[in-house]
Amino acid sequence: MNATIGDAAIALGFAGSMLGALTIVVSLARKRADLMRAVPMYVALVVAAATAAALIMEVALLTDDFSVRYVAEHGRIGTPLLFKIATLWGALEGSILLWAWVLVGYLAIVTVKFRKRIEDPMVAWALVTMFVVCLFFFGLMLGPADPFVELADPPADGPGLNPLLQNNAFMAFHPPMLYLGYVGFTVPFAFAIAALVTGRLGEGWLIETRRWTVFAWGFLTFGIVLGAWWSYETLGWGGYWAWDPVENASFLPWLTGTAFIHSVMVQERRGMLRVWNLSLICATFSLTILGTFLTRSGVIASVHAFSESGIGPVLLAFFGLIVLVTVGLIGFRGDQLRSVGRIDSPVSREGAFLANNVVFVAFAFVVLLGTVWPLIIEAINGERIAVGNPFFDRMTMPIGFVLLFLMAMAPVLPWRKASGEVLSDRLLIPALIGVVCMVGSLVLGAAGWAPVLAFGLAGFAAGSAGRQLVLATRRQGWRGFVGRTNGGMIVHIGVILIAVAFAASNSYLRQAEFRFASIGDTAELSGHVFTFEGTEQIVFEDGRIEDQLLIDVDGRIETPALTAFPFAGRTIGSPDTRGSLIDDVQLSVIPTEPGDPVVVRVTVQPLVQWLWIGGILMAIGTALALVPGSRRRPTAPTSALPTTPATAGVG
């Protein structure tokens, strides 16, 4: 019954998406405003269909309806409630269902937001674009990613989720955060397409979608941080970012989305970078589809990736179609996209933002090249190669230094042109803070030019952001913390904390394996003393069996373990981490033969906790950036063209 109703809901969503898109196109072609008034009905139909399908799947999972193949393959009677709910997005078909559900949610909010202007061609074409994307994902679920395949002979129980996905509660929150970010970029992309189709290529579409973009970027950012946190706490390898292809798949749209958020300010203020901004947002959305292909096609092997499936070619074709359409539209509107302003001096805020954009795009290119190159080589000659951490570390380190430098320079530079006197006045204190940070790190024992330079540039950038916040709060009081610019400075401070933590934890990581043959055996690493105190076995209600080691770490017992999942036929490590603001000590059990001494991998890393603090601060800054700040009358560029239907934006 669940399978039948679920398939019917998906078919209804597919039909509603198609009818909604066709209705708008016919209305625009025939100038039938009355047809546009029916569009909210189709939106409601699509929302109801996706919601019904998602809720039916949750009901099937919670009631252990193994007649639904998805439940039979990924559900289990004894799975804890939180992970039963999270099973919806724990495997391929369910993840596509969640994607569609989030997408129709955005479609509904856009429709409500612009309900009084739904007859505006800009809004209409944006809705057409979103309907088409909905149509694609509903089509996937009607074809190769059907979540409601019914089994004639259902099993009595299922294997449950991959044990790695049941070993940390972050799994329940990390994917939905990513999806809210990934899917959220559909909104600015849809308005960019609408601007290209209608020829209204001014700054209006940017202003209308500014907060949508920041909202999506914020969720993608926090989702990436949660993913790194999950990896660190769950996998026990002593790290949090491995340049895994699936990690890169989420990082790529973050890079181009970050570049877009910065460069739109130049277009709004100076009327420049129109082609660049359209290209960036279209690239960002395209990369979300490419990331979906990498994650769900089975072309890569990763703990994050799903098993091989038939949706890979379809996703790749959709990615190609998006690229073809966007490049064609930008080329078609080339003459109208000429900038109405120009950069007066490279030593200006717009010059710094342009440099920032070039560096972000270079960063994205390096990550994209390292991610897809093995796939290209394998497709050409069948040879499997690997692009490992050394490539990414070597190529991205100088880019990171340049970004920290630009992060320090951009907030203090004025628009148009900066004089030497202005620069010396605004940069003196941030530069002194940077020098103090470098000297302080050396006094505290830092070694190696790269981390010391990172600490100095981070201090320089933090001083610049702090200066902006101090000036803003002096002028505006508490409102000096809200608004796009001021909230952005808080985001910058979060990024700086992450950069410092990344440099310290990677440069000064210490790792060793210790054998403990009997109770009372001790070992020492980086000033921490480890004493073996015995073992303990815990049997959980859901069937897991956890064999813990009791290790005294500086006077406190930690319990790394090996956790057996008998129903899945797997045993995985369950590391234990003792974190502090100074350093983290992580203990992981290495499997051994019965009767052999126990082996524990100990990893000591400084400042890891500041990664998560920085991520939380970035989330807070993003939220504050969405709060309206003090309103400033926009400054038109001196070379601005008169407003015409061809240059006007939305509204």
**What value does the mean pLDDT take over residues 423-441?**
90
C-alpha to C-alpha distance for 592 and 638, rounded to whole angstroms:
73
Going by pLDDT thresholds of 50, 70 and 90, the confidence category of residue 13 is very high
Sign of the dihedral through C-alpha 276, 278, 281, 282: negative
**Distance from CA of residue 570 to its chain's centroid?**
30
Q: Bridge partners of 150?
A: 68
Question: Which residue, chain included where needed, has tokens 């148009």?
Answer: 416
Taking alpha carbons only, the member of 164, 160, 72 closest to residue 568 is: 160
The answer to whether residues 360 and 258 touch, using CB atoms and an 8 Å cutoff, is: yes
Going by pLDDT thresholds of 50, 70 and 90, the confidence category of residue 300 is low
The answer to whether residues 629 and 224 touch, using CB atoms and an 8 Å cutoff, is: no
Q: What is the dihedral of CA 610, 616, 617, 620, to 10 degrees?
A: -170
Is 326's pLDDT higher than 60? yes
Give the Å distances, CA to CA, from 460 to 60, 293, 480, 609, 618: 54, 39, 21, 22, 18
Query: Can you give 459-507 as a three-state secondary structure string?
Result: HHHHHHHHHHHHHHHHHHHHHHHCCHHHHHHHHHHHHHHHHHHHHHHHH
> What b/e string do you get for 152-184 counting C-beta neighbours within 10 Å, with b at 16 or more?
eebeeebbbbbbbbbbbebbbebbbbbbbbbbb
Residue 24: how many CB atoms within 10 A of its CB?
25
3-state secondary structure of 255: helix
> Which stretches within 119-203 are classed as H helix?
121-142, 174-184, 186-198
Is 40's pLDDT higher than 90? yes
Q: What is the pLDDT at residue 651?
A: 34
What DSSP string runs through 210-242? HHHHHHHHHHHHHHHHHHHHHHHHHH-SS-S--
Taking alpha carbons only, the member of 185, 186, 197, 183 closest to residue 25 is: 197
Q: What is the pLDDT at residue 154?
A: 92
* pLDDT tens digits, 121-157: 999 999 999 999 999 999 999 999 999 999 989 999 9
Q: What is the pLDDT at residue 514?
A: 94
Could you tell me which residues come within 8 angstroms of residue 67 by beta carbon, excluding any fewer than 6 positions away?
Answer: 2, 3, 150, 151, 154
CA atoms within 13 A on the CB side of 196: 24
Query: Can you give 4-44 as a three-state secondary structure string?
Result: HHHHHHHHHHHHHHHHHHHHHHHHHHHCCHHHHCCHHHHHH
Residue 336: how many CB atoms within 10 A of its CB?
14
3-state secondary structure of 93: helix
Output 645 or 539, whichever has higher pLDDT.
539
Q: What is the pLDDT at residue 649?
A: 40
The answer to whether residues 17 and 130 touch, using CB atoms and an 8 Å cutoff, is: no
Q: Which two tokens stand for residue 321?
A: 């179609």
Q: What is the pLDDT at residue 202?
A: 79
Is 564's pLDDT higher than 80? yes
Q: What is the pLDDT at residue 547?
A: 92
Question: Which residue, chain included where needed, has tokens 């970078």?
Answer: 273
* pLDDT tens digits, 173-186: 999 999 999 999 99
Give the Å distances, CA to CA, from 432 to 429, 460, 492, 493: 5, 8, 19, 17
* pLDDT tens digits, 363-404: 999 999 998 888 888 778 877 777 888 899 999 999 999 999
Amino acid present at 289: I
Is 561's pLDDT higher than 80? yes
> Which stretches within 31-120 are classed as H helix?
33-36, 39-62, 69-74, 81-86, 92-113
Q: Please work out, in degrees rounded to the nearest 5, the angle formed at the alpha carbon of residue 7 by the alpha carbons of 140 and 137.
A: 20
Q: What is the mean pLDDT of the chain?
A: 88
C-alpha to C-alpha distance for 293 and 305, rounded to whole angstroms:
10
C-alpha to C-alpha distance for 93 and 140, rounded to whole angstroms:
9
C-alpha to C-alpha distance for 101 and 89, rounded to whole angstroms:
11
Give the Å distances, CA to CA, from 253 to 42, 261, 431, 448: 30, 12, 32, 32
Is 270's pLDDT higher than 80? no
Is 233's pLDDT higher than 60? yes
> What b/e string do you get for 550-579 counting C-beta neighbours within 10 Å, with b at 16 or more?
ebebeeeebbbbbbbbebbeeebbbbbbbe
C-alpha to C-alpha distance for 236 and 302, rounded to whole angstroms:
16
The answer to whether residues 524 and 544 touch, using CB atoms and an 8 Å cutoff, is: no
Going by pLDDT thresholds of 50, 70 and 90, the confidence category of residue 460 is very high
Q: What is the pLDDT at residue 168?
A: 84
Amino acid present at 448: G
Q: What is the residue extent of each domain of the chain?
A: 1-161, 199-415, 416-506+612-620, 510-606
Q: Which long-range contacts (CB under 8 A, 24 or more apart) does 114-122 make?
A: 115/40, 117/651, 118/36, 118/37, 118/39, 118/40, 119/33, 119/36, 120/650, 121/28, 121/194, 121/198, 122/191, 122/194, 122/195, 122/198, 122/200, 122/204, 122/205, 122/649, 122/650
